[in-house]
Every structure is written in structure tokens, then in C-alpha cells.
């Protein structure tokens, strides 16, 4: 049923784009969110000046201090393509969708729906009865934070965990393709849909890249904006100046 739902969603988006083109509207297309040269289009929210830098066409995050930088504009319905690579064992990071980009002073992180990026060699995964528990799957976990609520497709408490471990370890590039439409998110990890949530209480806001203690690299960050839905003011993050 999950695969059928994803295919139906993708088919509906393709049909909508085709209808728009047939009626003289310009069909949406992917646009770069990172130009490979500088941080144009991004706003440093609460990290240091040297937390984010560009090297050889790659966006390098030092991981220090904990915090985020956000997109200049808000997004509602979209398809996001992002590639990431951890450089340290157990490295932790993520991208926040539909975020208000106002960090909680206690943990320095904002609200939204987090798409988790976690390196496989997580040092706290202790063996139980000689076996490592399947917590490495959190590399593709989806969950609401900062008061945002979601309904998980694959519950692990209030979070949704990937049904298949497709993440590559440190020093290797991973690809996330995220379909976010009307409070529903579907996540493909390295070419396969493995996770999703629905019913997000916030479904319009900023994108935030996370610095969370370990060096991580990003590249090929692109977004395809889709037509808006019916979103009430309480379902959208307040705009920032």
C-alpha cells in the first residue's frame, strides 16, 4: 500500500504539471538552492561565521556550534534533492522542512519536520544478545520537532523510521529525494522510497540545514516548487524579515 501511495502521489504531480503546460502555464523546474560558489540564498541563523563554507564546489559544515542556516524564502509544496556525506563516525545532521527557523535557546534548533542524516558508525549502538539493534535506520528518520506534530508511516514512538537501511557510511555520498505536499512527506534514500509521514501540523516554512557537532558536506541541493495547497495561517510558519 505504501508503494502504491507513493506512485499515486508521483503520478498526480506529473499529471498536474502536464495539465499546466497544456494550458499555457510554465511547468515547474528544478532550481539550485546551492550555487557551488558561495552561500547566496541562505541566511546564517545562529551558527558561527566559519561554520559554513564552500570548498571545491561543496558546501562544508564544520558541525560547530550546534545550530542552523535557513533558506531565504519559505516553501510549501516541493520536491527537494540533496546529497550529503558525513566525515566523522557517528556524525549527526539533518534538514528541517516547513520550519519557522527560530531556534529554541535550550537546544539551538528550530521547529519543523526533520529529515535525519546520521552516519552508520553510531558509537552508542551497543549490541543486545550479540546483535546490533536496528537503530542505524534513523539515518532516514522523519519526525516533527518544536511542537510540530506528524503521523508516522513506520512508527518508532512519535518518529517514522526507514523500512530499509540504504545509507552509506562516512566518506561516501548519500542522496535524499524528498516529496513534500500538503503535510505529507515521502523520502527516498539513494534511489528508493523507504519512509514517510503525513498530517504535519505545519506545512509551509523555511528549509534549514543543521550543524550538530560533526563535519558534514552537502552538494547538488535543488528544489522543484509545486503549486500551493489550501494552507491556513496556523499551518504556516510566520515569515521572517
- List, for residues 65-88, the tens digit of each pLDDT value: 999 999 999 999 999 999 999 999
Helices (H), strands (E): how many in the chain? 1, 17
pLDDT of residue 175: 98
Q: How confident is the model at residue 1 (pLDDT cuts 50, 70, 90)?
A: very low
pLDDT at 24: 63
Query: From its phi and psi, is residue 157 left (phi > 0), alpha (psi between -120 and 50) or beta?
Result: left
Report the mean per-residue pLDDT for the chain: 89
DSSP line for 57-126: TEEEE---SSEEEEESS-BSSEEEEEEEEE-STT-EEEEEEEE-----TTTS---EEEEEEE-S--TT--
Pairing mode of beta strands 216-225, 31-32? antiparallel
Say if strands 42-44 and 31-32 run parallel, antiparallel, or are unpaired: unpaired
**CA angle centred on 195, ends 78 and 169, rounded to 5°:** 100
210-223 residue pLDDT tens: 999 999 999 999 99
**Cis amide bond preceding 21, omega within 30:** no
- Nearest Cα residue to 142 out of 133, 151, 132, 130: 151
Confidence category of residue 90, pLDDT binned at 50, 70, 90: confident
Residue 26 confidence (pLDDT): 73
Q: Are 165 and 189 in contact (CB under 8 A)?
A: no
CA distance 207 to 199: 18
**Residue 232: phi, psi to the nearest 5?**
-80, 160
Alpha helices in 23-103 (DSSP H): none
Q: The domain 28-123+130-227: what is its CATH number?
A: 2.60.120.560
pLDDT digits (tens, 9 = 90+) for 5-44: 555 555 555 555 555 555 666 778 999 999 999 999 999 9
- Measured CA to CA in angstroms, residue 125 lies from 130, 143, 209 at distances of 12, 20, 25
Amino acid at each position: 500500500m505504501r508503494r502504491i501511495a507513493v506512485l499515486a502521489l508521483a503520478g498526480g504531480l506529473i499529471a498536474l504539471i502536464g495539465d499546466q503546460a497544456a494550458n499555457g502555464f510554465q511547468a515547474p523546474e528544478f532550481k539550485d538552492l546551492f550555487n557551488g560558489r558561495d552561500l547566496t540564498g541562505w541566511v546564517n541563523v545562529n551558527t558561527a561565521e566559519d561554520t559554513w563554507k564552500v570548498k571545491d564546489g561543496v558546501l562544508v559544515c564544520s558541525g560547530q556550534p550546534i545550530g542552523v542556516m535557513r533558506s531565504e524564502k519559505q516553501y510549501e509544496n516541493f520536491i527537494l534533492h540533496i546529497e550529503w556525506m558525513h566525515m566523522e563516525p557517528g556524525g549527526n545532521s539533518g534538514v528541517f522542512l516547513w520550519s519557522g527557523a527560530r531556534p529554541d535557546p535550550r537546544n539551538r534548533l528550530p521547529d519543523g519536520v526533520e529529515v535525519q542524516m546520521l552516519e552508520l558508525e553510531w558509537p552508542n549502538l551497543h549490541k543486545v544478545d550479540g546483535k546490533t539493534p536496528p537503530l542505524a535506520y534513523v539515518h532516514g528518520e522523519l519526525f516533527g520537532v518544536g511542537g510540530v506534530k506528524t503521523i508516522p508511516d513506520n512508527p518508532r514512538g512519535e518518529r517514522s523510521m526507514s523500512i530499509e537501511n540504504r545509507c552509506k557510511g562516512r566518506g561516501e555520498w548519500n542522496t535524499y529525494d524528498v516529496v513534500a505536499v500538503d503535510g505529507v512527506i515521502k523520502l527516498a534514500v539513494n534511489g528508493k522510497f523507504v519512509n514517510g509521514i503525513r498530517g504535519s501540523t505545519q506545512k509551509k516554512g523555511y528549509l534549514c540545514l543543521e550543524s550538530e557537532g560533526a563535519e558534514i558536506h552537502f552538494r547538488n541541493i535543488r528544489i522543484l516548487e509545486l503549486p500551493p495547497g489550501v494552507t491556513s495561517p496556523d499551518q504556516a510558519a510566520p515569515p521572517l524579515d
